[in-house]
């Protein structure tokens, strides 16, 4: 007997690049990816600047005519028809915006990096748990079928016990030969006031691969936080433009190297010649394709494989009725819907304690490298009238 599909009602907080990508995915028919147990409804969108911006956004993504357009984040989080808020602002804003939504009684899916500091992440998690509300960091990579398959292969011992992981996410964003990046100094990519920097923006994906393999799939009692040694290079704005982190998990005798850069690419050819991730075990190696945030393939190289390489390709299903759209952001939306339907306040795919553990690595690396973000974006004092909530920041 077919059971009824559960519908999650979404409010989109902010109207920038990723808000558009995610919302377009949300609007695809779940059947196009063979999902029948959950569906999504776009109920409202808010811009911190003006309602017109939200209304233009709804038209641009071809959203439903009845979707509401708000000119403030406060109106959005107080809409009784919204179940969950997708926070799509710069990292600097995540703590205040997520608190705003939680205090209004809404579940939250917050873009990566969850916060600017581990203290802020802990405060968000405490608040969500106190209020019995769902919270998840939107690390879309975790929910992609390729990631799930790689976790399963490693857990099943396909390459034997893993002793080392290399993970990189790097892009050549150089504007010319003077060392300047093509990002404006004011942009969220490099601006300290918006918590810019390679590590928070990109490096969290390299750390995600390290944690998926060396932390996530361990039995709960065996999970250990790593020792961290890091070095970074700063851009003239004060944010990191390249960071390298060594992680050691002493009880497991495993090591990882997580790197990120805005100056050089993981694969300069962009033709799949260089993997983003190498997972090295006693019986072989799994290499995950580039870019680490949404790899299109993985390959297995076995110690006794005689030089044979097994390559498995993945691509996100698309919805033909929506112009062939589909990027793979919808998997995390489906996970949020299932958790909320089942009364769970956190996902076992992206657990909150793991988001905190990753933010602790980020904290340590930034501290060792001397990157200091301004107090107004690292504070753990929530204020609904904070300029980061009212659009005055």
Ligand X SMILES: NC(=O)C1=CN([C@@H]2O[C@H](COP(=O)(O)OP(=O)(O)OC[C@H]3O[C@@H](n4cnc5c(N)ncnc54)[C@H](OP(=O)(O)O)[C@@H]3O)[C@@H](O)[C@H]2O)C=CC1
Ligand Y SMILES: O=C1OC[C@@H](O)[C@H](O)[C@H]1O
Give the footprint of ligand Y on this chain (CB under 6 A). 201-202, 293
Say if residues 243 and 203 touch (Cβ distance below 8 Å). yes
Which residue number has the CB closest to ligand Y?
201
Instruction: Measure the N-to-C terminal CA separation of the chain; round to a whole number of Å.
Output: 52
Tokens describing residue 196: 């810019």
Query: Taking the complex as a whole, how short is the minimal distance between the CB of residue 302 and ligand X, in angstroms?
Result: 32
Binding track over 271-300 against ligand X, x by CB under 6 A = ----------------------x-------
Binding track over 307-336 against ligand X, x by CB under 6 A = ------------------------------
Query: Taking the complex as a whole, how short is the minimal distance between the CB of residue 379 and ligand X, in angstroms?
Result: 16
Helix (H) or strand (E) segment spanning residue 335: helix 330-341
88 binds ligand X (CB under 6 A): yes
Has 112 been annotated as catalytic?
yes
In whole angstroms, what is the distance from residue 329 CA to residue 334 CA?
A: 9
Phi/psi at 33 (nearest 5 deg)? -115, 20
Phi/psi at 188 (nearest 5 deg)? -65, -15
Q: Which does 245 bind (CB under 5 to 8 A by kind): ligand X, ligand Y, none?
A: none
Say if residues 257 and 246 touch (Cβ distance below 8 Å). yes
Nearer to ligand X, 73 or 215 (CB): 73
In whole angstroms, what is the distance from residue 381 CA to residue 129 CA?
A: 17
153 binds ligand X (CB under 6 A): no
| Three-class secondary structure of residue 272 per DSSP | coil
- Of 68, 106, 112, 223, the active-site residue reads 112
* Contact residue for ligand X among 5, 6, 9, 18 (CB under 6 A): 18
Give the range of 85-93, 174-182, 347-355, 357-365 binding ligand X by CB under 6 A.
Answer: 85-93
* Contact residue for ligand X among 111, 168, 240, 285 (CB under 6 A): 111
Tally of residues, the chain: 393
Catalytic residues: 112
């Amino acid at each position: 007997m077919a059971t009824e599909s559960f519908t999650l009602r979404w409010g989109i907080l902010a109207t920038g690049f990723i808000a558009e990508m995610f919302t377009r995915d949300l609007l695809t028919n779940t059947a196009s990816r063979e999902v029948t147990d959950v569906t999504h409804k776009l109920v409202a969108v808010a811009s911190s600047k003006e309602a017109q911006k939200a209304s233009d956004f709804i038209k641009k993504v071809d959203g439903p005519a009845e979707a509401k357009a708000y000119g403030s984040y406060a109106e959005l989080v107080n809409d009784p028809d919204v179940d969950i808020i997708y926070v799509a602002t710069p990292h600097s804003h995540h703590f205040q915006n997520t608190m705003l939504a939680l205090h209004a009684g809404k579940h939250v899916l917050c873009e990566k990096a969850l916060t600017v500091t581990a203290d802020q992440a802990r405060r968000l998690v405490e608040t969500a748990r106190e209020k019995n509300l769902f919270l998840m960091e939107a690390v879309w990579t975790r929910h992609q079928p390729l990631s799930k398959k790689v976790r399963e292969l490693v857990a099943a011992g396909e390459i034997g016990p893993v002793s080392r992981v290399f993970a990189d996410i790097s892009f050549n964003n150089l504007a010319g030969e003077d060392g300047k990046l093509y990002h404006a100094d004011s942009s969220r990519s490099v601006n300290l006031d918006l918590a810019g920097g390679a590590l928070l923006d990109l490096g969290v994906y390299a750390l995600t691969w390290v944690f998926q393999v060396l932390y996530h799939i361990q039995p709960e009692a065996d999970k250990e936080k790593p020792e961290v040694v890091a070095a970074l290079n700063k851009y003239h704005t004060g944010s990191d433009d390249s960071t390298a982190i060594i992680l050691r998990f002493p009880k497991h005798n495993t090591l990882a190297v997580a790197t990120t850069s805005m100056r050089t690419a993981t694969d300069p050819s962009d033709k799949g010649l260089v993997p983003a991730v190498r997972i090295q075990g006693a019986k072989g190696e799994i290499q995950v394709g580039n870019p680490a945030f949404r790899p299109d393939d993985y390959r297995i190289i076995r110690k006794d494989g005689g030089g044979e390489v097994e390559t498995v390709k993945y691509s996100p299903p698309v919805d033909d009725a929506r112009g062939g759209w589909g990027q793979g952001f919808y998997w995390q939306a489906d996970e949020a819907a299932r958790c909320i339907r089942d009364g769970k306040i956190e996902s076992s795919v992206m657990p909150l304690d793991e988001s905190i553990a990753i933010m602790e690595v980020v904290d340590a690396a930034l501290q060792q490298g001397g990157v200091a973000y301004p107090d107004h974006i690292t504070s753990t004092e929530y204020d609904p009238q904070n300029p980061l909530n009212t659009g005055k920041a």
